[in-house]
A = this chain, B = another copy of it.
Amino acid sequence: MKKFINAIDTLLDESLLGFSKAHADIIQLNTQPHFVRRINPPKPGKVALISGGGSGHEPLHIGFVGHGMLDAACPGQIFTSPTPDQMLAAVQAVENGGGVLFIVKNYAGDVMNFEIVGEMLECQNATVLVSDDVALPKAHSTGRRGVAGTLIVEKIVGAAAEKGADLATCKTLGDKVNNATASMGVALSSCTVPALGKPTFNISDTEMEMGVGIHGERGRETLKLSSATDIVEHLASIIDEELKPKKGQPVLLHVNGFGATPLMELYLIYDLAAKFWEKHGITIARSLVGNYTTSIDMAGCSITLSVLDEELLKLWDAPVHTAALRWGC
């Protein structure tokens, strides 16, 4: 394992410290327990948006704390759910009379811990469960996983909350975005979890892991490595079959890198995915290409499509000022 670290036990703490120093104009870090919050407290009555999950997916979620997006994020240890005390402390820090909306990727540990906290809270609260990964069947025993579509939920609900939408409206909107969003990923290499010190899975030089999860979970099938066009056709067909966007409908196309795949390849994937949907008469109205929901050092990428309407387009375009997404302010 070759990484820039001092010790496995201090990696997360040191990294969060660096993050908080580099973005001190946007966020502040709380330690004991760990959470990242906006430097400015939310306006009275604003719904507080809180997300969180295992670390190793940076910039998700800490990079999305700031104006127009999250109020706080709770980073767990690498690929490990944050704990209820982190979530409680984050709520205490940012809830300001408007209630709390948790945005939670659908993994058993995350769901359980956010549920525990929801039940303990005296303030109004609700949860949007993100489950955009169509690699697993809809009827999978634990449901579908939340992956790169999460940031789209966070951005759009974040914009609505900033404009004064109430908790019920934010919750409905979050569910709507989740239902309108589908993702699927493919890996060329495994990631290496520092505490494990070796790749999560083995894959030969001529194979790819289709439908891989963002923790290196095996996906649908291990396939022979094929051309980028074939790979995109494979991923996009499954997404398209799920969402069935109509001709002329505006969509957001997001190509997400898992960490070790160069931008040059991500843009190539974007070109092919755009062509796929344009061929079907779909309008690519917005796009996002880059490393946003990563899997430590995995080589690979995912494609996410969100079917938008005028309301969602406006909320996507609304100002955002976070470490990883910034426009309009």
B-contacting residues of A (Cβ < 8 Å)? 2-6, 11-12, 14-19, 21-22, 55-56, 58-59, 63, 188-189, 205, 208, 225, 227-229, 231, 259-272, 274, 284, 287-289, 291, 294, 296-297, 299, 301, 326-327
Contact = CB atoms under 8 A, between A and B. Distances in A.
Contacts of A189: 2
SS class, residues of chain A in contact with chain B: mixed
B2 A267 contact: no
A225 B2 contact: yes
Contact of A297 (B3, B262, B269, B296): B262
A268 B19 CA distance: 8
Contact of A271 (B21, B228, B264): B21
A55 B289 CA distance: 18
22 contacts: A2-B188, A2-B189, A2-B299, A4-B188, A4-B265, A4-B268, A4-B269, A5-B227, A11-B268, A14-B268, A17-B271, A18-B271, A19-B267, A19-B270, A21-B274, A21-B287, A55-B264, A56-B262, A58-B263, A260-B299, A262-B294, A262-B296
A18 B262 contact: no
Contacts of A63: 263
Interface centre among A227, A296, A297 (most CB of B within 10 A): A297
A266 B301 CA distance: 20
Contact of A299 (B17, B263, B297): B297
Nearest to A205: B2
